[in-house]
Each structure stands twice: as structure tokens, then as C-alpha cells.
Structure 1
Amino acid sequence: MRQESQVSISKPYQPGIIEPVPPVARYVLFALADPKADAAAIQQALTRLTPLVNGSDVVVGIGPSLLKALGSEIPNLHEFPDFSREGVKVAVTPGTLWCWMRGSDLGDLLHVTRKVQKALAPVFAVRHAVDAFRHAYKEGGHGHDLTGFEDGTENPEGDAAEEAAFAHGLGEGLDGSSYVAVQQWLHDLDAFEALGDEDRDHHFGRRLADNEEIEDAPETAHVKRTAQESFDPEAFVLRRSMPWMMSMQAGLMFVAFGKSHQAFEQQMRRMAGHDDGIVDAMFRISKPVTGAYFWCPPMRDGRLDLRRLGLGLT
């Protein structure tokens, strides 16, 4: 079941959020090189950054701590909560400035990263970078997780995707913005491969062979834990996740854009078993090793609209 659009959004947004995932990407996390950097220095660094950001090749997210350093506030933005409970660990790794570099050539993305890094220096420094890629992608469809299962099957589309992913009715400098949850999940592929075919399908609640949902899958199945229409209110997000690989470690960069963080939090709480004590089977074969929230500013006249951070267009 797919969500029906409730709101027609005409506000500008960073287009990379709504576009399909690219062949390759880099997720780059920047931190303040000096935690005591003043607001003026931060604003100057962000002003140098904005000419490099078209919202498509580079998508930018601002962390709650950076807003605090600037003396700014964004409604409904806060740090990533601790969803952990007994037997379930959900990492919390607050971030400052997040950039999603999108393209078709990792070498080109390296050069883009270096340009952004130089623009932000010396105020910001790279803290973490992850290279990601599209796997088993079919034109007009979705990519696949490294487990082989299709990722993003239940994504809203068209107007419904815009309604789910972007803020509206909040005013200038906010409408068209997006709230993103970013988690790096580390897969235990040996554990997954040790499962029988039926167990694998029941972990996800879909058949690997044809991606069809399994009606009588156990309540621990990921599809049942996260069925977006089963929440009250419904919990639709726009997923733009991609597999990642570093040496012999691999997993999924889970990225979920929303008009607020509410829908993601509803899903994550149920996955961890807070609602009914039932834990998502995903935790048996994968674990989130990072977790952070960011606010993705809207666009205005082809540039990031940073009015809410005290910056005008340059």
C-alpha cells in the first residue's frame, strides 16, 4: 500500500533528495576543528561552501550542535535519541555538518570532497567519510542491499514522496527543507549466509526470489516492523539508502528523509521493540554503528537558503 499525497508542495528543495540514488556516492561528516569557533567564523565557512552546493551533486545537512553554535533554532530538530534497550544497541553519534556527494565516478567525488573540504577549512575538518554504491540496480526500479533484497520497495513516489520528505507550512527558510536520519549499518554477512532460504525470507518478510511480501511472515520480520501505513499517524519517509564497503566490512548507509523526524522515530522505536517487546530480525544480522540527525536547508534561486542560520544569498 502506498501513501496518497495530502499536500501539494511547491517550495524549493535540494533536488538530490528526490532524485534516484546515483551509481556512487560519498557520505562525508565534518566537525568543527575548534569546538569554540565563533559564529562569525562558522558563517564565513558556510558562505564559502554555498557556491559548491547545487543540492543535487552535493546535498547538505546541518546538525543540531552547529545550529546551537550559530545561536539558531530549527523547529522539530534535536539530537538523535537513544533507542537502545536491553539486548538492542542503537548507536548515537551526533554530527555537525553532513554532505552527501552524488555522482557516477568515485574519483570525481574525491575531487568534489576536496573542494568542499578546502572551502570549509580551517573551521571544519573531515571526521568520517564513507564511500557507497548502487548494487544490482535495474533501470526504473530500485537497487538492492548486499543481502540481495531490494531496498526501497515501499518508498512513496511522486507527490507522495514530496509530501513525506519535505517540510511545509512552517514559513520562509523552512518550507522545502528536510529532516534526515543517517545510520551506518554493519552487516554480518556470514551470519546471514548461514541462514536457510526460508529464514532469510522471514527476516525481511519478503521472498528473495521475487520480492513478494510474505503474508504469514513472523512478527519479527522487518517488513512487518516498519510497515509505514500501520502506524498512527502513518510513518512515511523517503529512503535514499545505499550499500557501503570498506576493506572486508560492508553494510547499508540508511538514509531517511522526512518532513520531521517523527516518522523515523516511530519506525525505529518499533524496530527496537519499545512498542511491544518484539525486536526486528534485522538486529540479528546487522547493527547500526552510527546514528545522527541533520536538517537539510531548502533552496532559493539555485542556492542553499540559509536565512535561518543568519546568512543571506551571496
Structure 2
Amino acid sequence: MNTCQPGIVAPLPEHAIYSEFRLEKDATVSAGLDVLAVLRIDHGVMAGLGSKLMANARCGLILCLFRPQTGTGASVPETQEDLWVRVCGANQEQLADLQQRVLHHLSGTFRLIRSTSAFLRGGERNLASHNEMASSSLDHSSVSRVLVSSLNPALDRGSFVAVQSWLYTGSRQNGRSIKNMDGIFAGRLTTERSGPKSTIEIDIERIGLVTKPEEGYMLRRCLAFGERYGEAGLYSVAYGNSLLLYEATLKCMVGQTDGVLDPLFQVSRPITGGYYWCPPIKPNGQLILSALN
């Protein structure tokens, strides 16, 4: 029986490396898919395919483009690549070993463009565990809602993912520590349980007219990166059976819908952004890529 990639629903890891790759100039899409077809996916390795690898997708599988957004004094950049890979481990040694194995496997067909080493910062644990979901109904009952449901085994249990790096722009001068900004950032992107209204509820109300209920649910995960001002931030990963909510949220955050700039831009700014398709896997851990050939 086919399943989703384990990393989508597994608890957040202690350490992870997020990498983005581009097909080598002389490598074809077919060659790239052949390499990925024998990449073993498990709790330590997961993969998302960019629009170039999806060029020949069938069965109604469409990956929308990550569109850069501009608004009231803020912008959201697009840094789309052909392949996104996350490796994770219980310690740095295991993590480094997995990363080297992935790089070796992809070598010659894919070129590494950027990688981000991320981790669970101590103060972030209460915010960034299994509760990082956003939904129009705030129903946290099942993570299966972020998976595509289809009679086609090439699509069923797959998921779309939006990835962004947000760099902290706050400083000691305004009294904000990096740990404090972890909380501010995660609070903007997850369901806060304190107060009369959560920030995500307010966001959903602002974009409610442009989303459908079945598209109004995403599972969002954040890990920290960097330890010093000017280098620290959070790496945001959001899974869903559609990317419409994420795109609508970005437009809303930069003030395109109502002219109100999201407070998140007061303490951080996005520096990367891309959309990917995480195919389901076979029982042996191989990606199901039949919809792309």
C-alpha cells in the first residue's frame, strides 16, 4: 500500500538540513526522475519536486508557480529550484552522513544551490511540535487533511509543500532576543491558544473570501537556523493538499488584500521561497513518479 512520505507527519527532528538543487545543464528531466526513482525515502530523507521536474505531469497534477509578492513596504522573493530535499537525524554525525549520501546519489545530475542547517531551539519546543497547523475551522483532528486524496495511486497520499527562509531583522537594541523572535515568528504562523483570537484566525478571516473550506488547511513546521544577529531566522515548511491558502496568505501578509502589512515584517523578512510536490512512496520507500513520465 502506498503511503505519504514519513517526514510530512513525523514529529519535528532535533536537527535537519534543507537543500535545494538544480538540474545540471546537460541533464534532462527524464534523467533527473530516473535518479530520484531509486532514492530511498524514509524518516531521515524526504524530497519535493519543483515545476521543471513536473513539466510532463499527467492526471491533473499541477504545481503552481511560487509568485514573488510586493505590498506596503514589503516583498516576498521567489527562489524556486528543481528539487528540495530534507534530511534529518538525532545528532550531527548522523545528519552529516545522510547529507553526504544524498549529495553523492544526486551528484552528476543535480547541482546543490543552497542548504540550510536547522534545529529545534530550546525555547521553540512548545511552539513547533505537532501543533503547527492552520485551518479555516481550526480543526486539528487529522494531518491526513494535508494529503491529496485520489483514486490514482500516483497522486494519492502525496502533498504539496511551500518552503521559505525568514531572516530575523530585530536586534538587541529593540530588546528582542533571538529566542523571543522565535516565539513572535512561530506565533504568527501557528495557532496561538492564548488570547481572545489567535493570529491565524484573524488571517483566515482576512482571506476567507478567496479560499474554499477544503483548501483551508495546512500543516506548518518551523525550525530555527543561525545563532547570531544577521544570520538567525526560521525555516518555514508548510504542507497542504493545495497551495491556494498559502498564496492567499502571502498576498494578505504584504497588504495586497486590505492594505494592512503583517506585523511579522517588523521583525523578519523572507529571503527564499518555493513550491514543491512531495510524491507518495511505495512500501519499499521509492517515490511514485509514474504521473510525471
Q: Same fold (TM over 0.5)?
A: yes
Residue 112 of structure 1 pairs with residue 98 of structure 2: yes
Q: Which of the numbers 247, 257, 264 marks the counterpart of 1:275?
A: 257
Residue 173 of structure 1 pairs with residue 160 of structure 2: no
SS of residue paired to 1:46: helix
Q: 186-195 or 104-113, which moves further after superposition? A: 186-195
**What is the letter of the counterpart of residue 18 of structure 1?**
V
Q: How far did residue 154 of structure 1 move? A: 5.3
SS of residue paired to 1:238: strand
**What is the letter of the counterpart of residue 185 of structure 1?**
W
Asked if 1 retains the 8 angstrom alpha-carbon contact of 2:222 and 2:236, the reply is yes
- Matched pairs, number: 277
Residue 152 of structure 1 pairs with residue 125 of structure 2: no
Residue 80 of structure 1 pairs with residue 66 of structure 2: yes
CA distance in structure 2 between the aligned counterparts of 1:223 and 1:158, rounded to whole angstroms: 13
Residue 23 of structure 1 pairs with residue 4 of structure 2: no
TM-score with structure 1 setting the length: 0.77
Aligned-residue CA RMSD in angstroms? 3.3
Q: Flag the 1:298–1:181 CA change in 2: closer, same or farther, 3 A.
A: same
2:128 is matched with: 143
* Structure 1 residues not aligned, in runs of 5+: 1-9, 145-149
2:36 is matched with: 46
Q: How does 1:31-70 map onto structure 2 within 5 Å?
A: 31-34=22-25, 36-48=26-38, 50=39, 52-54=40-42, 56-68=43-55
Q: Flag the 1:237–1:191 CA change in 2: closer, same or farther, 3 A.
A: farther
Q: Flag the 1:43–1:154 CA change in 2: closer, same or farther, 3 A.
A: closer
Q: How far did residue 308 of structure 1 move? A: 1.6
Q: Flag the 1:228–1:23 CA change in 2: closer, same or farther, 3 A.
A: farther
CA distance in structure 2 between the aligned counterparts of 1:142 and 1:205, rounded to whole angstroms: 6
Q: How far did residue 81 of structure 1 move? A: 1.2
**What is the letter of the counterpart of residue 84 of structure 2?**
W
Q: Flag the 1:42–1:258 CA change in 2: closer, same or farther, 3 A.
A: same
* Structure 2 residues not aligned, in runs of 5+: none
1:103 is matched with: 89
Q: Which of the numbers 295, 304, 308 marks the counterpart of 2:277?
A: 295
Asked if 2 retains the 8 angstrom alpha-carbon contact of 1:185 and 1:289, the reply is yes
SS of residue paired to 2:252: helix
Q: How far did residue 118 of structure 1 move? A: 1.1
Q: Flag the 1:62–1:223 CA change in 2: closer, same or farther, 3 A.
A: same
Q: Flag the 1:85–1:41 CA change in 2: closer, same or farther, 3 A.
A: same
CA distance in structure 2 between the aligned counterparts of 1:14 and 1:192, rounded to whole angstroms: 43
Deviation readout 1:90-119 (Å, 9 max, x if unpaired): 011111111111221122111111111111
Structure 1 vs Structure 2: percent identity of aligned residues? 26
CA distance in structure 1 between the aligned counterparts of 2:80 and 2:65, rounded to whole angstroms: 6
**What is the letter of the counterpart of residue 169 of structure 1?**
S
1:6 is matched with: none
Asked if 1 retains the 8 angstrom alpha-carbon contact of 2:168 and 2:269, the reply is yes
**What is the letter of the counterpart of residue 77 of structure 1?**
L
Asked if 2 retains the 8 angstrom alpha-carbon contact of 1:177 and 1:298, the reply is yes
Larger relative contact order (Cα-Cα within 8 Å, sequence gap ≥ 6): 2
1:309 is matched with: 292
**What is the letter of the counterpart of residue 85 of structure 1?**
G
CA distance in structure 1 between the aligned counterparts of 2:32 and 2:186, rounded to whole angstroms: 46
Asked if 2 retains the 8 angstrom alpha-carbon contact of 1:241 and 1:254, the reply is yes
Asked if 1 retains the 8 angstrom alpha-carbon contact of 2:133 and 2:217, the reply is no
Q: How far did residue 170 of structure 1 move? A: 5.9
